[in-house]
């Protein structure tokens, strides 16, 4: 039954199946002839399974009829037209408009990612289609490139396959415990079993924009558990190609559905990009029925990319970082932001809580760390040819993929552009080649030229309550010690197979010149010690800072006990 074959069956005495043109999770799509009206149509045949119990078979039929009822209500140029729904031999068939063209997924696979203008055009059309569906009480619940068709010749965008859509107020088929949908494109509230609304479809549009711009979803992982963690808890790594549309993508990928960018505003921003080549920020005002939406960068979604940014100079301060709200579920509190640009400020570095890691209880040794947002600890970095270096920061000679540090521990080689620092404080890790070492009390810093980026490490004795308690205590002081402390995320995580806590937050900086800051921090106990590793930087340099942070964690080796 290949695309070139002729099946020949006639369904409901009217629709002759010709060639198979696609297959999805719920069935096969055929090119067919409507012999009554003399036109070509697409016929979706529900995948059969003779081994299914009668109850499950009936459930599958109901799913298809539900799709027909939902989509048949809708009239929009970017929504596939449903002509008919019929049943034969206890198997349902959905008769739809035939679109001469392939799916968006096929297009990306064949030709690669699209440019920002094409992505914006697709986004505007999908948002318009979803606006019509949502106004009719219909949720799609499976927006992804495979369910978007691009008509040949015209380029018309058509949203299809409402196979798991439901009418508002009806019982969902997934209430039996089965997950229906594409996890990589599914909103966190739905992945967590929460209430699903129109906002969930908008999240999926945000993921789709990332996918069409870069070639894959930012939540793609090797396992269902990995996908769940990436969607629900881990820091969201936006592709560099999303840069021109970042205000829209970030607004749609807000984990809190009440703060997620609405369809009209997202469409307005995309149209503005198409007209001017620049994407404006989201309006501060909310749409009717939506919670207030904050416009500053790095909200609760744990961002690695893009935000308004300034350079910065730290000032001396004392106290521990803190005060974060405690989200539900696995989310506990916050990930920090702060770093230092400016020269000749070693005294401020010692007391700078936003750059100072939270491991430990003393005022000078405990600072806001740089939490690797939810679940970011231990994320594999790209791998690597290595270099080694002495503690002073001078580059060493090339090394093999694995080498032994002075403590006798096997350590991963540094990636290209990095060197392995064997620190006298009792650990090894990879740092960028141009970072220099600076010891400030209990904390070791590796600083970029101009101190734009600050990588900090603190080694201390284990603390009561472990890493989570230490970071929670630091977060509790955040409002007092960090002007504008906000958008915190503190999560339980894992590093090197050990329980850890990761923290992230944004704050305003201490001066106008300094500008807003963002930090990633992970704290864990290992070999009888507590380790706190963080990276801080101007919020607009988050992608670079996160790469430094991930590399530091991935290559960190403590002194052998």
Is 471 part of any domain? no
85 and 167 share one domain = no
Looking from the CA of 234 toward its CB, the CA atoms found within 13 Å total 22
The alpha carbon of 406 is separated from its chain's Cα centroid by a whole number of angstroms, namely 38
User: pLDDT confidence of 416, banded at 50, 70, 90?
Assistant: confident
Same domain, 346 and 437: yes
Ranges of beta strands (E only) in 25-144 are 27-34, 39-46, 82-88, 91-97, 138-139
Mean pLDDT, the chain, whole residue set: 73
Neighbours of 288 (CB within 10 A): 5
Helices (H) and strands (E) in the chain, counts: 12, 25
* Higher local confidence (pLDDT), 201 or 284: 201
Q: How far apart are CA 234 and CA 250, in angstroms?
A: 15
Higher-scoring residue by pLDDT: 2, 487: 487
Which of the listed residues 229, 250, 276 is the one where a domain comes to its end? Answer: 276
CB 428 within 8 A of CB 445: no
Which residue carries 């001017």 as its tokens? 276
- Tell me which range, 171-185, 287-301, 333-347, is most confidently predicted by mean pLDDT: 171-185
- Which of 97, 126, 151 terminates a domain? The answer is 97
Q: Which residue has the tokens 């703060």?
A: 259
In this structure, the answer to whether residues 215 and 337 fall within a common structural domain is no
Residues 87 and 113 in one domain: no
Residues recorded for the chain: 561
Distance CA 254, CA 261 (A): 8
What pLDDT is stored for residue 112 in this prediction?
94
pLDDT per residue as tens digits for the range 429-446: 999 999 999 988 889 999
Q: Which three-class secondary structure state does DSSP give residue 207? A: helix
Backbone angles phi, psi at 231, to 5 degrees: -75, -40
Take residue 39 and report the two structure tokens written for it: 């036109």
Distance CA 20, CA 17 (A): 8
Q: Which residue has the higher pLDDT, 63 or 91?
A: 91
Contact 141, 164 (CB under 8 A): yes
Pairing of strands 443-447, 436-440: antiparallel
Question: CA–CA separation, 399 vs 135, rounded Å?
Answer: 61
Average pLDDT over residues 355-380: 35
CATH number at residue 142: 1.10.510.10
Residue 22 lies in a domain: yes
Model pLDDT, residue 86: 85
- What mean pLDDT is predicted for residues 49-56? 69
- 17 within some domain: yes
Same-domain pairing of 50 and 117: no
- Once rounded to an integer, what is the mean pLDDT over residues 182-200? 87
Q: What are phi and psi of 547, to 5 degrees?
A: -65, -45
pLDDT at 402 over 80: no
187 belongs to a structural domain: yes
What is the pTM for the complete model shown?
A: 0.52
- Low-confidence winner among 293-297, 300-304, 358-362, 385-389 (lowest mean pLDDT): 385-389
Looking at residue 83, which CATH number applies to its domain? 3.30.200.20
The number of distinct structural domains making up the chain is 3
* Residue 253 near residue 203, CB atoms below 8 Å: yes
Buried b (16+ CB within 10 A) or exposed e, 444-462: bbbbbeebbbbbbbbbbee
Confidence of residue 360 (pLDDT cuts 50, 70, 90): very low
Among residues 363, 331, 362, the alpha carbon closest in space to that of 501 is found at 331
Q: Is the same domain home to 432 and 518?
A: yes
Domain annotation covers residue 300: no
User: Edge-to-edge strands of the sheet including 386-389?
Assistant: 395-399, 386-389, 418-423, 427-432, 557-558
Which residue in this structure is represented by tokens 């808890």? 233
- H helices of 139-194, where? 188-191
Spatial distance between the Cα atoms of 248 and 265, rounded to a whole number of angstroms: 9
Residue 138 phi, psi (nearest 5):
-110, 130
Gap between the Cα atoms of 334 and 505, Å rounded: 6
Q: For residue 385, what are the CA distances in angstroms to 276, 381, 420, 547?
A: 43, 12, 11, 16
Q: What is the pLDDT of residues 248-266, one digit of tens each?
A: 999 999 999 999 999 999 9
Strand order in the sheet with 91-97: 10-11, 15-24, 27-34, 39-46, 91-97, 82-88
Q: Give me the pLDDT at residue 181, please.
A: 61
CA torsion 391→397→402→403, rounded to 10°?
Answer: -50
CATH at 376: 3.40.1000
What is the span of the domain harbouring residue 131? Answer: 104-276
On whether both 151 and 267 belong to a single domain, the answer is yes
Same domain flag for 124 and 73: no
pLDDT higher than threshold 70 for residue 343: no
Contact 428, 444 (CB under 8 A): no
Task: Please provide the distance, in angstroms rounded to a whole number, between the alpha carbons at the two ends of the chain.
Answer: 64
Does residue 152 sit in the same domain as residue 249?
yes
Helical H runs in 215-363? 224-232, 246-252, 263-276, 346-351
Which residues, listed in sequence order, are joined to residue 447 by a DSSP beta bridge?
Answer: 436, 454
Q: Is residue 162 part of a domain?
A: yes
Catalytic positions, please?
142
Same domain, 192 and 228: yes
Q: Which two tokens stand for residue 452?
A: 């734009």
Between 322-326, 425-429, 502-506, the lowest mean confidence (pLDDT) is in 322-326
Do 222 and 356 lie in one domain? The reply is: no
* Residue 309 included in any domain: no
Neighbours of 246 (CB within 10 A): 19
Is 442 in contact with 360 (CB distance < 8 Å)?
yes
Q: How many CB atoms are closer than 10 A to CB 224?
A: 10
Q: DSSP class of residue 286? A: P
Q: What angle is formed at CA 52 by the lines to CA 50 and CA 57, rounded to 5 degrees?
A: 95
Residues 170 and 64 in one domain: no
* Across 81-95, average pLDDT: 84
Q: What pLDDT is recorded for position 512?
A: 62
Residue range 264-289, pLDDT digits in tens: 999 999 999 999 999 998 875 444 44
Domain final position from 276, 301, 320: 276
SS3 299: coil
Confidence of residue 323 (pLDDT cuts 50, 70, 90): very low
Six-digit token string for 180: 């229906």
Report if residue 480 sits inside a domain: no
* Tokens matching residue 367: 């600072």
Q: How far apart are CA 431 and CA 209, in angstroms?
A: 33
- The DSSP 8-state label assigned to residue 396 in this structure reads E
Cα distance between residue 484 and residue 310, in whole Å: 15
- With cut-offs at 50, 70 and 90, classify the pLDDT of residue 64: low
């Amino acid at each position: 039954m290949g695309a070139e074959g002729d099946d020949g069956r006639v369904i409901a005495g009217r629709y002759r199946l010709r060639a198979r043109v696609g297959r999805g999770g719920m069935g096969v799509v055929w090119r067919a002839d409507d012999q009554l009206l003399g036109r070509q149509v697409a016929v979706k045949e529900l995948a059969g399974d003779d081994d299914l119990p009668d109850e499950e078979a009936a459930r599958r039929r109901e799913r298809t009829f539900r799709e027909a009822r939902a989509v048949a209500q809708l009239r929009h140029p970017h929504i596939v037209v449903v002509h008919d729904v019929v049943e034969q031999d206890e198997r349902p068939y959905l008769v739809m408009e035939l679109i001469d063209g392939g799916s968006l997924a096929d297009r990306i696979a064949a030709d690669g990612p699209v440019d920002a203008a094409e992505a914006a055009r697709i986004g505007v059309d999908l948002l318009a289609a979803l606006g019509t569906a949502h106004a009719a009480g219909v949720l799609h619940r499976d927006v992804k490139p495979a369910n978007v068709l691009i008509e040949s010749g015209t380029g018309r965008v058509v949203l299809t396959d409402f196979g798991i859509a439901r009418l508002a107020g009806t019982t969902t088929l997934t209430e039996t415990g089965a997950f229906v949908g594409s996890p990589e494109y599914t909103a966190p509230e739905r992945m967590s079993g929460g209430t699903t609304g129109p906002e969930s479809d908008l999240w999926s549009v945000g993921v789709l924009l990332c996918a069409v711009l870069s070639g894959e979803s930012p939540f793609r992982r090797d396992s269902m558990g990995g996908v769940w963690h990436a969607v629900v808890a881990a820091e969201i790594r936006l592709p560099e190609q999303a840069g021109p549309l970042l205000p829209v993508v970030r607004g749609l990928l807000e984990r809190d559905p009440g703060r997620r960018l609405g369809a009209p505003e997202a469409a307005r921003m995309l149209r503005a990009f198409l007209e001017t080549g620049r994407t404006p920020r989201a309006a501060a005002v909310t749409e009717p029925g939506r919670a207030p939406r904050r416009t500053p960068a790095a909200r609760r979604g744990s961002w690695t990319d893009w935000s308004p940014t300034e350079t910065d100079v730290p000032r001396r301060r004392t106290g521990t970082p803190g005060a974060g709200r405690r989200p539900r579920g696995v989310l506990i509190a916050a990930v920090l932001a702060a770093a230092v640009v400016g020269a000749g400020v070693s005294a401020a570095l010692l007391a700078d809580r936003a750059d100072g890691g939270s491991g430990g209880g003393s005022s000078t040794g405990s600072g806001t760390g740089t939490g690797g947002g939810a679940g970011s600890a231990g994320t594999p970095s790209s791998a690597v040819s290595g270099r080694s270096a002495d503690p002073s920061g001078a580059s060493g000679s090339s090394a093999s993929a694995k080498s032994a540090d002075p403590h006798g521990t096997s350590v991963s080689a540094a990636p290209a552009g990095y060197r392995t620092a064997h620190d006298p404080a009792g650990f090894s890790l990879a740092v960028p080649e141009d970072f220099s070492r600076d010891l400030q009390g209990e904390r070791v810093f590796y600083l970029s030229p101009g101190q734009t980026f600050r990588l900090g490490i603190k080694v201390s004795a284990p603390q009561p309550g472990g890493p989570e308690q230490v970071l929670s205590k630091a977060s509790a002081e955040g409002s007092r010690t960090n002007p504008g402390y906000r958008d915190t995320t503190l999560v339980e995580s894992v590093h090197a197979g050990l329980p850890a806590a990761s923290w992230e937050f944004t704050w305003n900086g201490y001066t106008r010149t300094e500008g807003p800051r963002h930090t990633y921090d992970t704290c864990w106990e290992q070999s009888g010690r507590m380790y706190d590793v963080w990276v801080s930087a101007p919020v607009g340099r988050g992608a670079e800072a996160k790469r430094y942070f991930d590399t530091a964690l991935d290559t960190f080796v403590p002194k052998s006990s």
